[in-house]
Structure 1
Amino acid sequence: MYTQHNHTHNPFGKQGQCNAFERSGFGKKFKEHFMGGNDPFKEMFDKKINNYKPVNITENENNFTVQLYAAGLHKESFKIAIKNQVLTISYTHEEKDPDSKLIYQEFYESSFERRFQLTDKVFDDQVLALYENGILTVTLPKNPEKNKPEQKVDIK
């Protein structure tokens, strides 16, 4: 028998909203006094989630393409390198204004690094990159000499 449970109560609060503990006067005072106004668990989990940037990898006859979702990031802070047939895409976040006090935060900009193992089928000296509309696109041209069509072997 199938039973569906609809839980409408979320003790951690909804996205973008504070939970009941935070809304209460006691919760605010507790955080201000014992945690300096910060929620270390929320920061830890949010930073971990925002440190992982999702990618799409596609292939056509001539290229492999890696698209990394990176909305709101600065193109100058990306570094793309290939060494020992490993494509590394990294981003270095620099703090903006140390004199500015953050009073509410729902997203984090943080440094990250993604690595992708390549094959000898890629011309690693002809890689192109474009950052447009929050997507970093890395195009890796294929080496036609290494990309011969699959040959079927007859079984006798």
Structure 2
Amino acid sequence: MGVRDLIPWGRSAGNEAPALYRDEDRNPFLSLHREVNRLFDDVFRSFDGGWPRYGALTAPGVSWPTVEISDKDKEIKVTAEIPGLDEKDVEVLLDDGVLTLRGEKRSETEDKERQFSERFYGRFERRIPLGVEVEEDRVDARFKNGVLTVTLPKSAKAQSRVKRIAIKG
């Protein structure tokens, strides 16, 4: 028996075209079972370890507002996209090493004839654990064109903990 005999999609007798699918892929019940399992995995993965808050899920696995976090040597920068809101609609809190972004997006109109909408309305809250000590009195938050940028300078103690380790070849 050769290695080619172990590969199920490569077996062919004579001049036949090689099989492109494994035997279990041809069975519609096994395909359905696999797809249902994937669907449940995607749904439960989006809960982030607990039950979702109102308005927390806009797409599977994505919380709103979407954020970008960069951890540099001297600071942590958190950028959140919050289109359609003003700075008065957003609250930024820092408590015990957790940055909290919260607010509310209200509907501009009371359109009772609307049949379908993918827009998000309602309260939101996003908690981001920082994992390092920051200088709370130097935290800076700026809001421009629907983008909130929070700069959190690391404390001297947190900066000194970073140690670069040499890689030996």
TM-score by length of 2: 0.54
Contact 1:123/1:143 (<8 A) preserved? yes
Q: What is the aligned partner in structure 1 of residue 114 from structure 2?
A: 103
Counterpart amino acid of 2:105? H
3-state secondary structure, aligned to 2:101: strand
CA distance in structure 1 between the partners assigned to 2:134 and 2:113 by the alignment: 45
Aligned residues: 110
1:152–1:52 distance in 2 versus 1, CA, 3 Å: closer
Which structure features the higher share of helix residues? 2
Question: 1:48 Cα deviation (Å)?
Answer: 3.2
Question: 1:74 Cα deviation (Å)?
Answer: 2.2
Of 49, 59, 66, the match for 2:58: 49
Contact 1:47/1:108 (<8 A) preserved? no
Question: 1:134 Cα deviation (Å)?
Answer: 2.1
Q: Deviations over 1:30-64 (max 9, x none)?
A: xxxxxxxxxxxxxxxx8830762211100222210
Q: Verify: 1:147 aligned to 2:159, yes or no.
A: yes
Of 66, 74, 85, the match for 1:62: 74
Provide the alpha-carbon RMSD of the alignment.
Answer: 2.8
Higher relative contact order (CA 8 A, sep 6+): 1
CA distance in structure 1 between the partners assigned to 2:71 and 2:94 by the alignment: 18
Question: 1:103 Cα deviation (Å)?
Answer: 2.3
Counterpart amino acid of 2:114? I
Q: Structure 1 regions of 5+ residues with no counterpart?
A: 4-45
CA distance in structure 2 between the partners assigned to 1:152 and 1:101 by the alignment: 61
Counterpart amino acid of 1:122? V
Q: What is the aligned partner in structure 1 of residue 134 from structure 2?
A: 122
Contact 2:56/2:124 (<8 A) preserved? no
Counterpart amino acid of 1:143? S
Q: Structure 2 regions of 5+ residues with no counterpart?
A: 1-8, 10-19, 22-54
3-state secondary structure, aligned to 2:122: coil
Of 92, 96, 113, the match for 2:125: 113
CA distance in structure 2 between the partners assigned to 1:80 and 1:52 by the alignment: 15
